[in-house]
Amino acid sequence: MYVVIHHQIQDPKAFWGILEQVPAPPPGLRNIMFFPSMDNASAFCVYEADSVESLRRFIDDGLGASSRNSYYPINAEAALGLPA
């Protein structure tokens, strides 16, 4: 499944510092795309994930209070631009 994450960045210094040191995702999770806003106050990313819950644990545990994260499973059959 593919999942979009919207990161509303609460602590920019912490958020961007964490991303510089982020470990590789565990098996079952793969980052496909990352889109930061021009002002670095928010970001969107697309993951391939075995479940939303495993992705939520990885992201929320890693980023802590540096951002509020919302998760949106993608309807892959109707989506455009996903990897083949």
Q: What is the pLDDT of residues 13-47, one digit of tens each?
A: 999 999 989 888 999 999 999 999 999 999 999 99
What's the predicted TM-score (pTM) here?
0.91
User: Around Cβ 55, how many Cβ atoms within 10 Å?
Assistant: 23
**Of 70, 51, 42, 40, which is closest to residue 2 (Cα–Cα)?**
51
Of residues 1 and 23, the one with the higher pLDDT is 1
Element containing residue 33 per DSSP (H, E): strand 29-36
Domain positions in the chain are 2-70
Instruction: Provide CATH code, domain 2-70.
Output: 3.30.70.100
